[in-house]
Amino acid sequence: MEEISGEEGSFNCEEASNSVKECIQSVMGEESYRQDSVNQWTAKIVEQALTLLVKQSKSFKYIVSCAVMQKCGAGLHTANSCYWDTTADGSCTVKWENRTMYCVVSVFAVALTS
Amino acid sequence: MEEYNAGEEVSFNADEASVTVKECIEGIIGGLDYNQNKVNQWTASIVEHSLTQLVKQGKPFKFIVNCAIMQKSGAGLHTANSCYWDTATDGSCTVRWENRTMYCVVSVFAVAVTC
């Protein structure tokens, strides 16, 4: 379930999406699916995305999840469900593809109460 | 990253959550073959049902449940998670399940509520 809040102190979904897209593009933009490399790619994407998100706002705990799938006709379906504070927490999902693979990255931001 | 804190009352119990999630998956897609028309309902049911069961346990956590179902056809699927949180109180677990025609990967993230 994607939650989009337009308030100042809330999770900025658009900014997070842009950060994530840049990460994916820089890690895998020109690459073709390679079984030997894909583990490194997913790890790099989640680490870089997390670093960028923390730079944008430290008032959240973050969870970044990334799935990369080879394009060969198989179906892939994902769903998320969250039990949290809908006024303060938020998420966004970025879907990306190139000629040989799909990439789905989800970001979940849980507000820190302090 | 799976975090297991033994002995602490309010830390996330990854083993217990895994068992709960496995039962949910089994209950929803246990005997079934991959079906393009149904798979959206299945992923939605799995995350909702898992979430309900986790919340019923009554622990002071916010939860995020993520489910991916992939048809078995030789394609490679890789997933990774990274979390910026309080490693003493928060935790996650990932359950991988398969049958003859599909893979199912469910991740649960639990973030402690401080109030």
Are B14 and B91 in contact, with CB atoms under 8 Å apart? yes
Distance CA B56, CA B77 (A): 32
Say whether B51 and A82 touch across the interface (CB within 8 A).
yes
CB proximity A72 to B under 8 Å: yes
**H/E run at residue A95:** strand A90-97
* B window 28-47, beta carbon within 8 A of A: 34, 36, 39-40, 42-44, 46-47
What percentage of chain A's residues is helix, strand, coil (to nearest 5)? 30, 35, 35
Q: What average pLDDT score do residues B84-106 get?
A: 93
For the cut 80, the answer to whether the pLDDT of residue B35 exceeds it is yes
For B40, B60, B77, the CA distances from B101, given in Å and listed in that order, are 16, 37, 15
What was the pLDDT predicted at B4?
Answer: 47
What span, in angstroms and rounded, lies between the C-alpha atoms of A19 and A16? 5
One-letter-per-residue 3-state SS of A25-58: HHHHCCCCCCCCCHHHHHHHHHHHHHHHHHHHCC
Average pLDDT, whole number, for chain B? 89
Contacts of B91 in chain A (CB under 8 A): none
- The pLDDT assigned to A5 comes to 42
Q: How far is B74 from chain A (nearest CA, A)?
A: 8
Query: With 70 as the cut, is the pLDDT of residue B111 above it?
Result: yes
| pLDDT per residue as tens digits for the range A1-24 | 544 444 446 788 999 999 999 999
CA–CA separation, B37 vs B34, rounded Å?
9
* pTM of structure: 0.83
- Mean pLDDT by 10-residue block, N- to C-terminus, for chain A (114 residues)? 50 91 93 92 94 90 93 88 92 94 94 78
Percent of chain A exceeding pLDDT 70 equals 91
